[in-house]
Structure 1
Amino acid sequence: MHKRPLEILIFGAGAVGSTFGWRLAQNPFVRLSAVCRSNYTSVKTNGIHLRTTLWGNGSFRPHRVVKAVSDVQNVAFDYVVCANKLTPSDAVSFAEAIRPAVRPTTTLVSVQNGINVERPLKHMFEGNTILSAICYASCQQPLPGQVQQLTQIRPFAFAIGTYHSGSTDTQSENNKLEKLVSLDSKFKAIKDVNTERWTKMMFNGSLNPVSALTGLNSHQLLQDSPSLTLAHRLAEEIYEVASRSGANLPADSVSRTISCLQSPAPIVPSMLQDARDGRQMEVEALCGNIWRQADAVGVSVPAVKATYDALTSMNQKIGIPRQYTFESDPHTPVADLSTDLASETSRRASKHLLYDVQPSITPVAA
């Protein structure tokens, strides 16, 4: 029996954060707070509405909806869930942003994409328990406060484990993990966070970037040979980095990754969602951290670095009108630009060359 409500804060109530929070809020002893940004007004007024294939449809209103962590700094949170996207401006600052909500007894949960994403939390909150959650459900927020989950690449939604940081009190950490996992039947406890992160990274570091470059969803990628070739090459390089980094991945991990494209419903990866909506893509978390880890363990990853360069160039243009074209042809649509960029990336990667051509881009006239 819980003597008091289990206080949980969701930092970043986007599609994934809203889905995770919704499942937690189904428990009557959980008191959920949410830090919202662009969807603050909608969530504050109308709550969050979800359509999902894993759990059915539903809606909920967080107990507290705030714009900043400082608005709830007096609450003794048991868990702080970081579900924010790791764009260049957020990669380090998010740990500082959640500081007002963190006490020595607070458990931190990273539900963020990428590898090594827990390090900022470990650096700032060395004495706290840190859990790492890997999302296998494809979630979208087409409108503020309106979330859809149409498909998933595993039978469960979130794999959650302890981010081992040298703590001697492993029983306490395991108890906190078990308590969180018990809150939903689609949460799964795992023992090897490193391997699980790299397993998801096989998908996120290959199919996600290629989808963003080409503008194609998972089913469309299957029909596009050059894009599929690039995705396969990226998965091969990531597999080598993962293996050298201590991950125990199956020998057929590359083929398993590509087979995810055959999901019943087409997957629109997060990078493609961001590119379509004119938002910064998580290039550092999903590409940059891979090649930095590759350098650390001595693995050559020319395709990863080429793709990173191409996506960084695209990211630099986000914030101005969403459609871009080559200066030499003012009528080229955005899809053609992405395809050309991906084709050049694929060609250079196949020859172990870095992408060193930065095409001049200007916005399409409104």
Structure 2
Amino acid sequence: MGRCNVLVYGGGAVGSIFGWRIAQNSHATVSVVCRSNWEAVRTSGYSLDTKTWGKGIFVPRRVLRSGSVAKVIPKQKWDYLILANKIKDDYASTLSELQSVVSPETTLVTAQNGMDVEVPLAQAFPKNTILSAVCNIGCRQISPGRIEQTASIKRSAFLIGAYAPGTPADILQRDTLSAMDAQFESVNRIEQERWRKLVLNSAWNSVTALTGKNTHRALQEPGAARLMSQIAGEALSVASASGVSLDNDLPVQVIELAKSSLPITPSTLQDLRSRRPMELAPIFGYLVMQARQVGLPVPYLTWVHELLQQRNSQLVARAASHGPSWSGSTSVVDLLAQEMPPRLSAVA
């Protein structure tokens, strides 16, 4: 097998684990693009402690700083470009930077949260193979370069599929990547898997961010399980109205999985605790927009989206004034009693 050059764009928890596993293959060379942790990773690489693969050290071939990729490696050819960065308001600048590293032979892999994350890639690179990866592990960056994975929410850590309609060449690229680790699995219906993860994210990410507590602690709050179930139920209804078939009892699974897994700190809560704006558009923004398109009322999703947008505005204001970070300790009872709009209070 020939040399495989891989660039991971977004060297946080998900990107570092994805890259680390690929790097275990002798024919693969993995480099990463980092932002806030660039100095630590450039100096010492990654130290990983995972429930799925055990402990390990990952020293990327090259560690590049986000925003300067084009200046450093303008002529490097990449077989796979894995996007593990979060989709924020500045995503257009990300696509602009990627123009300098994507060649006709590059396969793009999005390992980002949410739905339709492949669309901007397909628009920017219409002739390239695009794969979609769903991450089924709970992981976080404890400190720059120190990664911890404590929970798994499905049999395989990463599900990988071709962005529809997949060609034989796309399927080959998918299977080549999936073969690099036993926890990578090729799937034919990646959209369905993305929707399933979206339902989970909509319930877990919202309630944990609004209460400031991980999944276990949040579920100890009176009313939390019901709120999670209501949100997941609305997300499931949006999926069904969009022509996607998922398990009817998925809202129940959302609660049971949160209880049976080790405590999970979703990415929105991690962002909130670190004073970073939360990634809302590909999860809550998408669901509210899609619900509008299919003519489906989603009062709970609309409500939590509005509340989380308010939290984001507070984060930006605090960052600008160098004020304290958001404490985030709010009970579900207080949320329902004090912050729920009048149009929802009757159904709470």
Structure 1 residue 302, shift from structure 2 partner:
1.1
Provide the C-alpha distance between the structure 2 equivalents of 1:96 and 1:323, rounded to a whole number of angstroms. Answer: 32
Correspondence 1:113 to 2:113: yes
For each residue in 1:249-291, what CA deviation from the matched residue of structure 2 results, as whole angstroms up to 9, or x when unmatched?
0111111112121134211111111111111111111210111
Of 39, 44, 47, which residue of structure 1 is paired with 2:45? 47
Q: Structure 1 residues 264 and 196, CA, compared in 2 at 3 Å: closer, same or farther?
A: closer
Structure 1 residue 297, shift from structure 2 partner:
1.6
Aligned partner of 2:86: which letter? K
Q: Does the residue aligned with 2:41 lie in a helix, a strand or coil?
A: helix
Provide the C-alpha distance between the structure 1 equivalents of 2:333 and 2:60, rounded to a whole number of angstroms. Answer: 41
Provide the C-alpha distance between the structure 2 equivalents of 1:51 and 1:303, rounded to a whole number of angstroms. Answer: 36
Structure 1 residue 351, shift from structure 2 partner:
4.3
Q: Structure 1 residues 338 and 271, CA, compared in 2 at 3 Å: closer, same or farther?
A: farther
Q: For 1:302-321, what aligned pairs fall within 5 Å after superposition?
A: 302-319=299-316, 320=318, 321=323
Correspondence 1:21 to 2:19: yes
Provide the C-alpha distance between the structure 1 equivalents of 2:197 and 2:171, rounded to a whole number of angstroms. Answer: 22
Q: Does the residue aligned with 1:206 lie in a helix, a strand or coil?
A: helix
Q: For 1:1-366, what aligned pairs fall within 5 Å after superposition?
A: 1-2=1-2, 5-67=3-65, 68-70=68-70, 71-90=72-91, 92-164=92-164, 166=165, 170-319=167-316, 320=318, 321-324=323-326, 334-336=328-330, 340-341=334-335, 343-345=337-339, 348=342, 350-351=344-345
What is the Cα-based RMSD across aligned positions, in Å?
1.9
Q: Structure 1 residues 151 and 349, CA, compared in 2 at 3 Å: closer, same or farther?
A: farther
Unaligned runs of 5+ residues in structure 2 are none
The answer on whether the counterparts of 2:337 and 2:345 sit within 8 Å (CA) in structure 1 is: no
Aligned partner of 2:162: which letter? T
The answer on whether the counterparts of 1:8 and 1:81 sit within 8 Å (CA) in structure 2 is: yes
Q: TM-score, normalised by structure 2?
A: 0.92
Structure 1 residue 345, shift from structure 2 partner:
4.8
The answer on whether the counterparts of 1:215 and 1:338 sit within 8 Å (CA) in structure 2 is: no
Q: Structure 1 residues 181 and 344, CA, compared in 2 at 3 Å: closer, same or farther?
A: farther
Aligned partner of 1:115: which letter? M
Question: Quick check: 305-314 or 215-224, which moved more?
Answer: 215-224
For each residue in 1:34-75, what CA deviation from the matched residue of structure 2 results, as whole angstroms up to 9, or x when unmatched?
101101110000001100010000011110111132122211
Provide the C-alpha distance between the structure 1 equivalents of 2:293 and 2:276, rounded to a whole number of angstroms. Answer: 30
Instruction: Name the residue aligned to 1:359.
Output: none
The answer on whether the counterparts of 1:221 and 1:261 sit within 8 Å (CA) in structure 2 is: no
Aligned partner of 1:26: which letter? Q
Instruction: Name the residue aligned to 1:330.
Output: none
The answer on whether the counterparts of 2:152 and 2:261 sit within 8 Å (CA) in structure 1 is: no
Structure 1 residue 93, shift from structure 2 partner:
3.1
Q: Structure 1 residues 44 and 339, CA, compared in 2 at 3 Å: closer, same or farther?
A: farther
Provide the C-alpha distance between the structure 1 equivalents of 2:276 and 2:149, rounded to a whole number of angstroms. Answer: 20
Question: Quick check: 154-163 or 171-180, which moved more?
Answer: 154-163
Q: TM-score, normalised by structure 1?
A: 0.88
Provide the C-alpha distance between the structure 2 equivalents of 1:349 and 1:200, rounded to a whole number of angstroms. Answer: 28
Provide the C-alpha distance between the structure 2 equivalents of 1:191 and 1:308, rounded to a whole number of angstroms. Answer: 31
Provide the C-alpha distance between the structure 2 equivalents of 1:109 and 1:63, rounded to a whole number of angstroms. Answer: 19
Q: Does the residue aligned with 2:238 lie in a helix, a strand or coil?
A: helix
Question: Quick check: 219-228 or 26-35, which moved more?
Answer: 219-228
The answer on whether the counterparts of 2:9 and 2:81 sit within 8 Å (CA) in structure 1 is: yes
Aligned residues: 339
Question: Quick check: 81-90 or 5-14, which moved more?
Answer: 81-90
Unaligned runs of 5+ residues in structure 1 are 325-332, 354-366
Q: Does the residue aligned with 1:126 lie in a helix, a strand or coil?
A: coil
Identity %: 37
For each residue in 1:228-255, what CA deviation from the matched residue of structure 2 results, as whole angstroms up to 9, or x when unmatched?
2221111010001111112220111111
For each residue in 1:310-361, what CA deviation from the matched residue of structure 2 results, as whole angstroms up to 9, or x when unmatched?
000100121423445xxxxxxxx641488744654557574489xxxxxxxx
Q: Structure 1 residues 36 and 352, CA, compared in 2 at 3 Å: closer, same or farther?
A: farther
The answer on whether the counterparts of 1:303 and 1:345 sit within 8 Å (CA) in structure 2 is: no
The answer on whether the counterparts of 2:224 and 2:332 sit within 8 Å (CA) in structure 1 is: no
The answer on whether the counterparts of 1:33 and 1:63 sit within 8 Å (CA) in structure 2 is: yes
The answer on whether the counterparts of 2:223 and 2:333 sit within 8 Å (CA) in structure 1 is: no
Provide the C-alpha distance between the structure 1 equivalents of 2:103 and 2:335, rounded to a whole number of angstroms. Answer: 47
